[in-house]
Amino acid sequence: MARRATAIKNYRAKTPYLLVLDAGDALFGQPVSDISQGKALTEAMDLMGYNAMAIGERDTGHWDELLARSREAKFAFLSANLVYANTGKPVFTPYVVQNVGGRKVAIIGLSPADDSLKAFAPSDVTVKDPVETAREYVAKARAENVDAVVILSHAGNVMDRKIATEVQGITAIVGGHSYDLLQETLRLGDTVIGQAGYGGEWLGEITVDFDADGKIVSARAGVIPLTEEYADDPELAALAARYNAALPPTPTIQP
């Protein structure tokens, strides 16, 4: 994570048109994250300047903590298709339109529609079809005269491909859930799709070039392995050390 922070800082110095996103299942799963009730990861992502994250099924397994972190974090917790079963209203913010270097970029969150979420989420929430939800919210976002529309999806790569094929007007899909490490550009129609594996070992990178009329000229996607080439960011290294120090000692087994 400390290397990731350095890589992100390097990009920030290069371009004003930068988005930093997480496609879900970020906050929980390890002792350090679970004991801190998701605060360790939320604070780290805030320090790195994340713009938004999607809600994955594992995030919903810590429901109360997730809701609390969504209120505290500076970045947006997004899901357009995770809704209350009785009202059909989204639990989290469905999408945001953010100012990226003066350009308006819409980011729409999607959660998985397979059975995985049912195993974790409370029984009073349900998940709507990602394709139909994407169609609905892309139209809403485009009506706001945005320069680009990004789907932040924890629906898996098969679903991401389906969405890219069936829904017009999507600039990029940042994917997750299926652990795909997409090292080369995957482009369907005008939509470019990326996914950066798992565990935070890689940083996904998508670049989309627009002409003066706002039309997409080219798009690329890949991943950056966070090797020793990237020094640890001192602020993030200190944060990790602070949270690790709060962990109870690992019990030793006597022979």
Of residues 181 through 240, those in contact with another protein by CB under 8 A are 194-212, 217, 226-227, 239-240
Q: How far is the CB of 183 from another protein (least distance, A)?
A: 14
Nearest approach in angstroms of CB 164 to another protein is 15
The pattern of x and - marking residues 132 through 151 that bind another protein according to CB under 8 A reads: ---------------xx-x-
Task: Name the DSSP letter for residue 242.
Answer: H
Options 31-39, 67-75, 89-97, 129-137: segment touching another protein (CB under 8 A): 31-39
Site string for another protein, 3-22 (x = CB under 8 A): xx--xx--x---x-xxxxxx
| Alpha-helical regions (H) of 116-182 | 116-120, 130-142, 157-166
What residues pair up with 153 in beta bridges, in sequence order? 110
137 vs 202 by CB, closer to another protein: 202
Judged by beta carbon, residue 86 or residue 103, the one nearer another protein is: 103
Nearer to another protein, 15 or 85 (CB): 15
Cα separation, 202 vs 11, in Å, equals 15
CA distance 46 to 75: 7
CA distance between the termini of the chain: 35
- The CB-of-205 to another protein minimum distance in angstroms stands at 6
Q: Which residues contact 110 (CB under 8 A, 6 or more apart)?
A: 54, 79, 80, 81, 130, 133, 134, 151, 152, 153, 154, 155, 163
By beta-carbon proximity to another protein, the closer residue of 108 and 254 is 108
Kindly tell me which residue out of 138, 172, 186, 193 binds another protein, with binding defined by CB under 8 A. Answer: 172
* Between 2 and 91, CB nearer to another protein: 2
Q: Scan residues 66-95 and list those touching another protein (CB under 8 A).
A: none
Q: Specify the residue, 167 or 196, whose C-beta has the smaller distance to another protein.
A: 196
Site size toward another protein, by CB under 8 A: 72
Nearest-angstrom CA–CA distance, 166 and 73: 33
Using CB under 8 A, pick the residue from 26, 78, 82, 159 that binds another protein.
Answer: 26
- Of residues 65 and 85, the one with the C-beta less far from another protein: 65
Distance in angstroms (rounded) separating the CA atoms of residues 113 and 242:
36
Task: Indicate the SS3 state at residue 63.
Answer: helix
DSSP β-ladder status, 186-188 and 191-195: antiparallel
Position 239, amino acid: L
